[in-house]
């Protein structure tokens, strides 16, 4: 049989327990991104150009190969590293060189970055180098945008059209 004073104590204890659960289940609030800022996300995966040139196989070479592996060209698997840079309003805000994924270095290079900028007009420029050429970039594009508060602006690479995209 529960004692009356324990019933009162249990009401107090359960109320305190409930308040504790309810409070931390949704409080205090947390500011993830300022509501006045826009978020510029740079996310792309892109395979660098192959390190070596492809070489045509001679008929003799093809004859020596198993029938299911007789491709006309022999290409090295390894790919170049990819370098990506981003300027906002003429100021370099991101620069990263990513190695190709995979044990053989034949995968895609991956980039991911997100950062806040005040809402308003900005000139965003992205440059990407996927060849072994150390001078200049293989892809270079810029856009002038009017970023709204809390807008997510994404910079990607369109593999079909081979160009940097802004959306």
Partner 1 sequence: MSNPIKSALRAGLFRLESGWDALVGRDANPMYCLGAMSWHFFWIVGASGLYLFIPYDTSAIRAWDSIEYISTEQWYWGGMIRGLHRYASDAMVLTMMLHLVREWLLDRYHGARWFAWFTGVPLIWMVFASGVTGYWLVWDELAQYLAIGTAEWLDFLGIFGQSIARNFLNPPALTDRFFTLLIFIHIAVPLFLLFAMWIHILRINRANTNPPRQLIIGSTLMLVALSLIHPALSHPPADLGKATSVLNPDWYFMALYPLYDTKGPAVAWSVAIGASVFLSLMPWMVFRRKRRAAATVSPPNCNGCGNCSSDCPFGAVVLRPRQDASGHSQIAVVQPDLCTSCGICVASCNRTNPFLRGEPHETGIDLPDFTFDLMIKRVSARTHGLVGNNRVLVIGCEHGAVLDHFKGPSVGVLPLHCTGMMPPSMIDYVLNKDLVDGVLVTACRPGECFYRLGPEWTELRMAGERVPKLRGAVSRDRVRLSWAASTESKRLATDLAEFRVALAELPKPEAPETTKRRVAE
Catalog residues that contact partner 1 under the rule CB under 8 A. 2-3, 6, 9-10, 12-14, 17-18, 20-22, 24-27, 29-35, 37-39, 41, 43, 45, 101, 107, 110, 112, 116, 150-152, 154, 156, 167
If the CB atoms of residues 37 and 81 are measured against partner 1, the closer one turns out to be 37
Q: Which is nearer to partner 1, 46 or 127 (CB)?
A: 46
CB of 53 or CB of 167, closer to partner 1? 167
List, in sequence order, every residue forming a beta bridge with 165; answer none if it has no partner: 156
**Nearest distance from residue 27's CB to partner 1, in Å?**
6
For partner 1, which is the closer residue by CB, 4 or 67? Answer: 4
Q: How far apart are CA 63 and CA 2, in angstroms?
A: 92
**Tokens describing residue 100:** 């190709």
| Closest residue by Cα to residue 121 from 89, 155, 73 | 89
Which CB atom, from 32 or from 72, has the smaller least distance to partner 1? 32
Q: How far is the CB of 60 from partner 1 (least distance, A)?
A: 37
Q: How many CA atoms lie within 13 A of 75 on its CB side?
A: 12
* Count of residues making up the chain: 167
Of residues 89, 110, 111, the one with CA closest to residue 101: 110
CB of 124 to partner 1, least distance (A): 16
Q: How far is the CB of 136 from partner 1 (least distance, A)?
A: 27
As a whole number of angstroms, the distance between CA 81 and CA 100 comes to: 6
The neighbour count for residue 64, using CB atoms within 10 Å, is: 10
Instruction: Name the minimum Å distance from CB 36 to partner 1.
Output: 9
């Amino acid at each position: 049989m529960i004692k009356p004073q324990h019933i009162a104590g249990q009401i107090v204890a359960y109320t305190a327990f409930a308040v504790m659960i309810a409070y931390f289940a949704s409080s205090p609030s947390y500011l993830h991104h300022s509501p006045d800022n826009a978020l510029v996300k740079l996310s792309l995966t892109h395979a660098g150009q192959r390190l070596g040139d492809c070489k045509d196989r001679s008929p003799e070479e093809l004859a020596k190969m198993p029938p299911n592996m007789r491709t006309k060209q022999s290409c090295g698997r390894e790919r170049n590293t990819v370098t990506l840079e981003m300027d906002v309003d003429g100021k370099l805000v991101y620069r990263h060189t990513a190695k190709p994924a995979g044990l053989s270095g034949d995968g895609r290079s991956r980039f991911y970055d997100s950062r806040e900028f005040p809402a308003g007009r900005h000139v965003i420029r992205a440059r990407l180098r996927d060849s072994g050429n150390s001078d200049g970039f293989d892809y270079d594009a810029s856009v002038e945008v009017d970023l709204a508060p809390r807008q997510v602006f994404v910079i990607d690479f369109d593999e079909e059209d081979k160009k940097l995209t802004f959306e």
